[in-house]
Structure 1
Amino acid sequence: MRYSIGELARRTGLTIKAVRFYSDRGLVPPSGRNTAGQRRYDDAALARLGLVRTLRELGLDLATIRRIADGEVAVADIAARHVEALEAEIRLLRLRQAVLTAIASRGSTNEETRLVHELALLSEAERRHLVDDFLAEALGDRPGLAGVARTLTPELPEDPSPEQLDAWIALAELTRDVEFRAILRRLADQLEPGLRRDLAAEVRKAVTPALEAGIAPDTPEAASIVDGLGLDPRELREWLEAVNDPRRERYLGLLAVVNGWAAPESLAPTLDWLTAASSRP
């Protein structure tokens, strides 16, 4: 069957101008001409034009389309390469979206915008260096705390969500807080050689029933719970002052978002109760 340019356009949904453009560039050559010299196309040209249209809509350039149509390369091989390129482009677009979302949500100044962009675009090695430097100063050179360091290490995914990237930026900013580093250092110091135990877990176990039962911190029952912990009052006060700093809990919450963990249960009510109970004369 023979088709005119207009018939090809109707059958493929392209404009006559587009069909003529592809024909002029040799992508869809005519199979002949009529007596008036007008180009005519056969079924093979119709099928070829359908392929050209599909590949153009998928974003392939004309040179690549010609190679596929001429059988020089397999469309599957080209598609695989384009998938990789698109995935990289999508990751970049998502990263840009997450950065802009973070900037917008924070109402950032020009300087804050620069910092947010800088932190967001750190390479994995640069992020690791930033975190390792923070943990080294906060925990010190203590092989016995290697496990603690691992649990405090953020692992930002290769393709983070806007929430994860925003949490990473906030966490990275927190690691630069000199006072926060000092607080963690104090907690680490208390693990050697004094409070060599998971005191937070012990406190939660001891205090939670009291909170649930509505026991006030200024009662004999509360005093008995504090005594049951078996800690020197001065050590307990120092531990509470450091562990109950809101920045510690904020770090853990941000860490959970970055790493895709469940949100940690707040220890603040327990620590507030114990602080009050241990402060009574």
Structure 2
Amino acid sequence: MHTIGELARRTGLTVKAVRFYADTGLVPATGRNAAGHRVYDAVAAARLDLVRTLRDLGLDLPSIRRVLNRETSMADTITAHADALEVHIRTLKVRQAVLRTAAKRGAGPEEVDLMNKLATLTEDQRRRLIVEFLDSAFDGVNGEFDGIARTLTPELPDDPTPDQVEAWVELAEISRDEEFRGIMRRLLEQHASGRADVVRPDLAAVVHRHVALDVDPRSPEAARVVAAIEEATGLDADRLATWLADVGDPRRERYLRLLAVINGWQRPDSLAPTFDWLARALAG
């Protein structure tokens, strides 16, 4: 038989904690000794060990009581607790990402509040935000672009990394930018052909195939490259320059890079050098 003091030393708990578990009925005394002190047998000691272990794992007292009283199985209880911990861990990761992002930006109170709201949106709320952005970008565009829309849609996983959460917050902010929405809409309009069932090849890809970065953009050879680009894209120099102002906007490339982080895709190559070369070549 063990006294409360002996159980405390054996388990590493305080005498107060052992007495509390006894008083609440979680670990009732086996009996009393000649001095009238409560004593506990090996079964009670094992019960106390189980209580301590479950408390160390974070289970609440009512859950522990149900396990001890065999009202629910150990497996069901710890599974439910593990699931709850998973949700809590995800929440903590989101909070951590928001705090790190805020610190990195030197954000003020209003920006921190916005970042937190964007980071803690539900899956349905995130989907609605992106659908609204894509609807705005595709508004009035002649053509069917389901494939393009899918390539522009972020899918934050159920258990995102801090980098993915940080990328989502920034991407959500960019998608709310009305000027950026206008840029995307103009690029999609340019991408569409005169017929609703025909889509031109991606202009950025066409330009990238023709541009030679090792050629001086002010040279006669560069002029020939520009002429080849005009022929391949069907755009004259003025329209190329207009298109270039939109496609070369750094927010577009940033969106695509953030999208790759969120979706776990390979990081896209930067076309900024290509666009910069073409801009200098067009300027003459």
Both proteins in one fold, TM over 0.5: yes
Q: How does 1:49-198 map to 2 (within 5 A)?
A: 49-140=48-139, 141-193=141-193, 196-198=200-202
Paired with 1:129 and 1:279, the residues of 2 have a C-alpha distance of 42
Residues 92-121 of structure 1: CA deviation (Å, up to 9, x unaligned): 222222222222222222322232222222
The answer on whether the counterparts of 1:102 and 1:162 sit within 8 Å (CA) in structure 2 is: no
Give the aligned residue type for 1:249.
E
Residues 52-82 of structure 1: CA deviation (Å, up to 9, x unaligned): 2111212223333233223332111111111
Matched, 1:246 2:250: yes
What number of residue pairs does the alignment pair up? 275
- When residues 131 and 71 of structure 1 are mapped into structure 2, their CA distance, relative to the original with a 3 A threshold, is closer
SS at match of 1:157: coil
Shift of 1:200: 1.5
Paired with 1:31 and 1:133, the residues of 2 have a C-alpha distance of 66
Q: Report the counterpart of residue 215 of structure 2 in structure 1.
A: 215
Matched, 1:24 2:33: no
User: Relative to structure 2, which stretch is displaced further, 77-86 or 62-71?
Assistant: 62-71
Give the aligned residue type for 1:254.
L
Matched, 1:199 2:203: yes
Q: Report the counterpart of residue 235 of structure 1 in structure 2.
A: 239
Paired with 1:43 and 1:27, the residues of 2 have a C-alpha distance of 15
The answer on whether the counterparts of 1:103 and 1:113 sit within 8 Å (CA) in structure 2 is: yes
The answer on whether the counterparts of 1:217 and 1:277 sit within 8 Å (CA) in structure 2 is: yes
TM-score by length of 1: 0.88
The answer on whether the counterparts of 1:119 and 1:169 sit within 8 Å (CA) in structure 2 is: yes
Unpaired runs of 5+ in structure 2?
none
Percent identity, aligned pairs only, is 56
Question: RMSD over aligned Cα, in angstroms?
Answer: 2.1
Unpaired runs of 5+ in structure 1?
none
TM-score by length of 2: 0.87
Give the aligned residue type for 2:149.
A
SS at match of 1:144: coil
The answer on whether the counterparts of 1:5 and 1:16 sit within 8 Å (CA) in structure 2 is: yes
Paired with 1:21 and 1:97, the residues of 2 have a C-alpha distance of 36
Matched, 1:261 2:260: no
Shift of 1:142: 4.1
Paired with 2:34 and 2:121, the residues of 1 have a C-alpha distance of 67
Shift of 1:143: 4.2
Paired with 1:67 and 1:171, the residues of 2 have a C-alpha distance of 46
Paired with 2:148 and 2:65, the residues of 1 have a C-alpha distance of 59
